Amino acid sequence: MLSPALLLLIGFLIIPFAMAIIFSFTTKRLVSPLPTRFVGFDNYVRLFADQTFWQALRNTAVFAGIVVPVQSGLGLLLATLVNRRIPGRNIFRGIYFMPVVIPMVVVCVVWYFVLNYPEGLLNTFVKILTFGKAGPYDWLRDPSLALPTIILISIWQGVGFQMVVYLAGLQSIPEELYEASRIDGASAWQQFIHVTFPCLRNTHVFVLVTTTILAFKLFTQVEVLTQGGPRGGTNTVVRYIYVAGYRELRIGYASAAAVIFVLIVLVVSILQRILLKEEREVL
């Protein structure tokens, strides 16, 4: 008899992915009077020839390449700070974690008004600080600013999750290890390098893999703030799939993009685990 967890895995992951693979070889459309035809690898050929797809993939890779290390490192730093015995540390934990529990759509709407051009709160603040010599900046429509702005918003909103995970890992480290290192004359930095960081290796794996998957799923921030603009500068693979499947109703083509994207994320996650495993063996 199959367990409930396995049934959920089959029903919500394996079967949909298998259907996506099947649809990717057809002309399946969401609404169409024409019959569905088998077209072989035509959808994949058109996908790899589409420069919009490659631009979306580059944007997604840049986003993940910056967000994953920065958010993970900042989460570890914040966890280390709020793990200390300081007055009001529970208040700081709540403040840092608060953006995580706020729906991303709400976060994006608030930031949209903060970043609004030309009279948004941030532009007004820049104008006051520089006595009107700088700005206003079009944070969401300037090709050089749009993607960095979304990256910063995403880091701010999500870093509390990594902080909580690392905090749980820090609190599981035996205090005796720190006492022994202090007896040996280790400084605070040496304790972090030789005690804290190695003891968090399993936490590192979880945080990095989870953050990578979440980063590759970037959609809400882009859809709410920029709709993929300017000139595709913030478009992502998930939004590309969404537009192809639900706006243009090309289910077969969107399924091909989804299959390729899942394989890319799977390969990246496996490589991360292999590299981190080798690092643990060295340590």
pLDDT single digits (tens) 205-216: 899 999 999 999
| pLDDT tens-digit map of 47-67 | 999 999 999 999 999 999 999
Cβ atoms 135, 48 nearer than 8 A: no
Write out the two tokens for 225: 């703030």
Q: How confident is the model at residue 21 (pLDDT cuts 50, 70, 90)?
A: very high
Specify whether the backbone of 44 is left (phi greater than 0), alpha (psi in -120 to 50) or beta: alpha
What confidence score (pLDDT) does residue 272 get? 82
Residue for token pair 């609404």: 31
Helices (H), 120-217: 121-129, 146-171, 175-183, 188-191, 197-199, 201-216
Q: What is the pTM of this model?
A: 0.91
Mean pLDDT estimate for the chain:
91
pLDDT, mean of residues 84-105:
89
Structural domain spans, the chain = 49-282
As a whole number, mean pLDDT of residues 95-122 equals 92
Residues in Cβ contact with 232 at an 8 Å cutoff, skipping those fewer than 6 apart:
52, 55, 56, 59
The CATH superfamily holding the domain 49-282 is MetI-like (1.10.3720.10)
Return the pLDDT at 269.
Answer: 86
